[in-house]
Structure 1
Amino acid sequence: MFAAIILLFIILFFYWNFIYKRQGLPPGPIPLPFFGNTLTLSRSKCAYLPYKLWADKYGPIYTFWMGECPIVTVTDYSLMNELFVKNGDAFVGRDFLNHLSKLVEVHTGNHGVIQTQGDTWRVMRRFGLLSMRTLGVGKAGMEKQFKEDINEMINKLSNQVLLNNGENINLQLYIDRLIGSTINRVLFGFAFDDNQMDEFNEIKSTFDKASRWQFSFCGRLLVAAPILRHLPFFYQSFVEFSELPLPIYKYLNKQIGNRIEIRNLKNEKKEPRDLLDCYLDQMESDEADEEFNMDNFRALCYDLLLAGQETTGNTLSFLVLYLLLDQRVQSKLQAELDNLVEGNEELIGLSQRPQANYTNAVINEVQRLCNLLPLNLSHKTMFDVEIMDGKYFLKEGTVILPQISCLLYDEKVFPNPHLFIPERFLDDKGQLKRFDSFIPFGLGKRACMGESLARAELFLFTANFFRTFQVLPIDPLNPPNAQKQKAFVVRPDPYNCRLILRK
């Protein structure tokens, strides 16, 4: 009798795991009980590969499992556009880290813009977009300040070239500080100077640790099965992850507190100079929504720091690396920049971006090839919805993922996708070519809200840095590799280079 009960339980369990719970969802790899397909993802040396192989096998929409959470995955641009743009309201919800983020809210709360949905997300996103437009982010309003930061970086690097012949320079440190300063200007109105590098380094180190943790073996298993946090080995890892944001929130509280104290002392209204001023003005207005509180602003700042620092900084690190490894492309880029300025000593500006087709093609190809997010941020259905002419029925709360990394490596659109070929973004007349599926900043209502700032940073750095310097490997016979570190936001392996001042 007991054996029969055990056998019945096993049969029912297998039926539930392999058949019942998958009903109505697009097909996909068979999940293991409790862990889903997490072990397959963890074993893969290339973070992108499983999603690509599943797309090849199951088609443009499939379901994989993060623990007991099914994730409907879309890898076709037309279908992404249909779901996330044309029917965006249905898929605008957010599921972040398979509910693990809810377990660490004791420190950060469910605030800001990345993790939230509903009224909080709408109000914070609208405020962020309108305020950045008011401040001139990504346009002439912020261009002058960003060029000042670039010029300071170029001067420091030029001194390094004169002192030690440009040998053995770690450009990633300079890039990280440049991008961090730009974001901090937007948030709090100032760049990081030499006296504030300890604070900046702690912020950068925190983001690096969080990004690596999410793609570590332990992190993957905790995302798949948060209940594991109660076991001794996983508990320590969970605690370390949950406490990572604390130093950044300490920095944010300091900046916010100082500004409020100054405003209270002066008791005067001025034109807002940064996002904090815009937010405080909004909080003090009679029309402020209840979402305008300090918890949401701190989380919004955290989100913008995280998204801007890791994505743009890492993209520029890849850009320098790819051009270091391909001197032909670097020379062709510099020839265009030389023709663009024609001896003018002024820094290249955004007004010259439309004439810099090859420079823009290089930037596009770097964004495509570095493919920063192996696993894109997942959405969630806000109500029951049928997709693909009723073929699939997704219940409210279903997690759905636009897997953009598959688009960027699509062989049908980008032949030899793992090769660095900027010319693929130019037509026969040398004009910039547009691809609908080239969407490194996402699409729909959840697209990156800092896109205009990131595009400006990428162009201004690329144009002015490579106008000034030639980048070479320290040892031409042993150049650095182009491997990517496995992380939530990929980053190249650390490398140093040699700089030569161009005449």
Structure 2
Amino acid sequence: MSANDFFFLLSPSPTTMLGTALVLLLVYFFSSRNQDCGKEPPGPRPLPLLGNILQLDPHKPHNTLCKLSKKYGSVFTVYFGPKKVVVLAGYKTVKQALIGQAQEFGEREITPLTMALSQGHGILFTNGDSWKEMRHFALTNLRDFGMGKKAAEETIIQECQYLIQEFEKHEGKAFDTNHLLNYAASNVISSIVYGSRFEYSDPQFQAMVDRINENIRLAGTASTQLYNVFPWLGNWIKSSRTIRKNIKMNVGDMRDLIRHLKETMNTHMCRGIVDSFLIRKQKEENSGVLDSHYHEENLIFTVANLFAAGTDTTGTTLRWSLLLMAKYPHIQDQVQEELSRAIGSRQVGVEDRKNLPFTDAVIHETQRLANVLPIAIPHITSQDVTFQGYFIKKGTPVYPLLMSVLNDESEWESPHSFNPAHFLDENGKFVRRDAFMPFSAGRRACLGESLARMELFLFFTSLLQYFRFTPPPGMTEDELDLTPAVGFTLNPTRHTLCAVRQF
């Protein structure tokens, strides 16, 4: 054997490497399918290596999954490449899994993307004792710093005034509401986390919010889905590189903010969640606690998770609400008539919700129709489980299809139309519906739900008191597009509205 032959064996050609990889993937694919002991959920026949990728709409996979549920039922299997996923569709099925069998379906799937987003720390993309401790800490402190209480209400009302001032600067001319609504929502969670808000013109604040929004948009693109299926492609996929870059920059900014809070901290006056975490961290260090969960990386990514979750979904839902008011002016008329009759010109408060049933119904119907999070952040089974007669193996990714709950034809009278009557009884009183599940459910339900509900109510009512929202000049209501843009969450496509002062 010559030296060249020897080095050829050590350095196989790209074709040889690709062939080897394909063989290994095929062995894994077929062996994993044959390991199941029991009847697995049905689903479309997958192709080797590719699975069912070619059958899914890469830009709107939730739509394809809803269509597949019509054929295969409320529990079915799809393959994202070689990865087998169980999809749960419809209100009763999702409720049974996430609430009735919360322990078995309560773990989080950790994908290449979510590992990049949190690096195994924080709340959203972790499991085990660290997740339990960080979730408990965050929930306790959100409540301590006002979630669901008067303190949070005052913070939101103050932010409403700043937002109204920004809207007024446009003097009734058409503008894109996207940035301002995201900044307002972000400032509410920032006040609770850091103990203070940011000016809308603060370049660091703008950059942090914009990076979060870009990452959430990119997380729903076909290229990022491909990265999750074949992570070794990561360096060649632009969206995954951009996501990692944005995370690195936001983590750097958060470290700077936390460093400043640490330098100015007074242990006798807790300003926000960061202070509370730092005080707890210091106590555990002084007590010699081993393997403490209160370390800097958990602080950084817990703050990052709260900041992202408290910005995107609330800001996006508010954007949908204003677009729908411009799209359906007769609904806007009824909201403003109710506000004028029940409130007048004074500031709306949380206690006014019971006197504003139609307005409350409009907000809920906006959340239902917009279905901002069409697929819940993926779960994974914590153990082997038999569910509705099907065997699902431990470690199987599970996708609760929230869109199918909010559009469930057996639960909603007109699921595909904007109909506030879904939340009103025959006497015009507000009624809450069991199938209203925009915040998911069970162990992984949104921990800031009560804060988000308060924000949506106060921001929406305050804006509708002051402004009439209309399409830009030259455009009719019918021309306003309700098609959502591509993203992990469903945002309205880019548009402008006019906010005309009412008095």
- Counterpart of 2:74 in structure 1 is 60
Which residue, out of 101, 104, 111, partners 2:121? Answer: 111
- Distance (whole Å) between structure 1 residues aligned to residue 402 and residue 337 of structure 2: 33
- Check whether the contact 1:414–1:424 (CA below 8 A) recurs between aligned residues: yes
Q: What pairs up with 1:132-143 in 2 under 5 angstroms?
A: 132-143=142-153
Residue 81 of structure 1 aligns with which residue? Answer: 95
- C-alpha contact 1:380 1:400 (8 A) present in aligned 2: yes
Question: Quick one: which amino acid aligns to residue 142 of structure 1?
Answer: A
Choose from 327, 330, 350 the match for 2:329: 327
Give the match for residue 450 of structure 2: 452
Q: For residues 295 and 471 of structure 1, do their structure 2 counterparts lie closer, same or farther at Cα, with a shift above 3 Å needed?
A: same
User: Does residue 1:493 correspond to 2:493, yes or no?
Assistant: yes
One-letter code of the match for 2:384?
D
Question: Structure 1, residues 45-79: CA drift from partner, whole Å, max 9, x if none?
Answer: 64432111111001111111222221111113223
Q: Secondary structure at the match of 2:499?
A: strand
Q: CA RMSD in A?
A: 2.4
Contact 2:373 2:438 in 1 (8 A): no
Q: Do structure 1's residue 186 and structure 2's residue 188 form an aligned pair?
A: no
Matched with 2:483 is: 483
Task: Provide the C-alpha distance between the structure 2 equivalents of 1:469 and 1:100, rounded to a whole number of angstroms.
Answer: 40
Match in the other structure for 1:224:
229
C-alpha contact (below 8 Å) 1:92/1:117 kept by paired residues: no
Q: For the Cα contact (< 8 Å) 1:468–1:501, is it kept in 2? A: yes
Report if the CA contact (8 A) 1:60-1:75 is conserved: yes
CA contact (8 A) 1:138 1:455 kept: no
- State the partner residue of 2:141: 131
1:214 aligned residue (219, 227, 235): 219
For 2:121 and 2:231, how far apart are their aligned partners in 1?
21
* Cα drift, residue 15 of structure 1: 9.5
Q: 2:51 aligns with which of 36, 41, 66?
A: 36
Is contact 1:61–1:76 with CA below 8 Å preserved after alignment? no
Deviation at 1:255, TM superposition (A): 1.0
- Give distance in 2, aligned partners of 1:114 and 1:332: 39
Structure 1 residues 390-469: aligned runs within 5 Å? 391-469=389-467
Matched, 1:203 2:179: no
Question: Cα deviation per residue 1:457-485 (whole Å; 9 max; x = unaligned)?
Answer: 10001111101111111236444311210
Aligned partners of 1:17 and 1:33 also within 8 Å = no
Q: Compute the displacement of 1:191 (Å).
A: 1.3
1:259 to 248, 255, 261: 261
The letter for the 1-side match of 2:93 is L
Task: Report if the CA contact (8 A) 1:180-1:200 is conserved.
Answer: no
Sort the Cα spacing of 1:195 and 1:153 in 2 relative to 1 into closer, same or farther, 3 A.
closer
Which residue is equivalent to 1:5?
A: none
Please list the CA deviations of residues 438-461 of structure 1 after superposition, one character each: whole Å capped at 9, or x if unmatched: 111111011000101100110001
Cα distance between partner residues in 2 of 1:416 and 1:46: 22
Q: CA deviation at 1:237?
A: 4.4
Q: Which residue in 2 is equivalent to 1:6?
A: none
Q: Cα deviations across residues 337-393 of structure 1 (Å, max 9, x unaligned)?
A: 11221x3x43101111122111111111111111112322111122222222xx222
8 Å contact 1:38–1:220 — kept in the other structure?
Answer: no
Q: Distance in 2 between matches of 1:60 and 1:34?
A: 25
1:320/1:194 CA distance change after superposition, 3 Å: closer
Q: Give TM-score, length-normalised by structure 1.
A: 0.88
Could you state the TM-score of these two structures normalised by the residue count of structure 2? 0.88
Count of equivalent residues: 473
Deviation per residue, 1:84-118 (Å, 9 max, x gap): 2132122221104x44434x37xx52100111001
SS at match of 1:461: helix
CA drift of 1:126 comes to 0.4
| 2:251 equivalent in structure 1 | 249
1:101 aligns with 2:99: no
Q: Are 1:362 and 2:362 an aligned pair?
A: yes
Where do residues 14-33 of structure 1 align in structure 2 (5 Å cutoff)? 16=30, 20=34, 24-33=39-48
> Is the 8 Å Cα contact of residues 174 and 472 (structure 2) preserved in structure 1?
yes
The answer on whether the counterparts of 1:35 and 1:67 sit within 8 Å (CA) in structure 2 is: yes
Q: Is the 8 A contact 1:318 1:366 kept in 2?
A: yes
Query: Is 1:72–1:399's contact at 8 Å kept on the other side of the alignment?
Result: yes
Residues 159 and 241 (structure 1), Cα distance of their counterparts in 2 relative to 1, 3 Å cut: closer
State, as a whole percentage, how many aligned pairs show the same letter: 27
Instruction: Return closer, same or farther for 1:40/1:334 CA change in 2, 3 Å cut-off.
Output: same
Per-residue deviation, residues 170-205 of structure 1 (Å, max 9, x unmatched): 222221111111111111011111552x11221222
Q: Is the 8 A contact 2:105 2:379 kept in 1?
A: yes
Q: SS of the residue aligned with 1:328? A: helix
Asked whether the 8 Å contact 1:202–1:247 carries over to 2, the reply is no
What SS does the corresponding residue of 1:160 show, helix, strand or coil? coil
Counterpart position of 2:4: none
- Give unmatched runs, 5+ long, in structure 2: 1-22
8 Å Cα contact 1:179/1:309 also seen in 2: yes
Partner-residue secondary structure (3-state), 2:310: helix
Q: Distance in 2 between matches of 1:493 and 1:133?
A: 34
For 1:363, the aligned partner's letter is I
